[in-house]
Amino acid sequence: MNIKISTVLLLSSSLWMSAMAQTNAPKSEKTHKMVFQLATPDTAAYRALTRQLNNVLAYWPTAQIEVVVHNKGIGFMRKDQRIFEPEIAALKAKGIVFAVCENTMKQQKLTKEQILPQAIYVPVGIAEIVVRQEEGWAYLKAGF
């Protein structure tokens, strides 16, 4: 009887240790691709976004991330509202792409000279998000 109990305890212990090893296993080797949509003028959402981007890169350093900025979110990338320029520059240096919608720029009568130099430009922000999703990128709403 003691052998059966010992065997059960040994097997239970091995299963538990195996489960713990999987929990503490190295992060996935998969390249994660995410597209964030930023369309709000809320500076608290901008702060949350920069924290979230840094958190993701701390966990998945090789993640591919694009932030599509359009509509009222364009303030995030405007030179005259450069509150977050240091964070944007640091994130761009880590490989994050900040894509600004040219349709929004036309509607708000903005030129490329008025946008931070870290930006790339896309004709239609929503279309950029759709294309990324069709390519298998995960969609996330920026901010809260």
pLDDT at 19: 45
Mean per-residue pLDDT, 12-17: 41
Rounded-to-integer distance, Cα 96 and Cα 26, Å? 23
Residue extents of the structural domains in the chain: 26-141
List, for residues 60-72, the tens digit of each pLDDT value.
999 999 999 999 9
pLDDT at 4: 53
Superfamily of domain 26-141: DsrEFH-like (3.40.1260.10)
**Residue of 136, 86, 97, 90 lying closest to 119 (CA atoms):** 97
Rounded-to-integer distance, Cα 96 and Cα 119, Å? 10
What's the pTM? Answer: 0.80
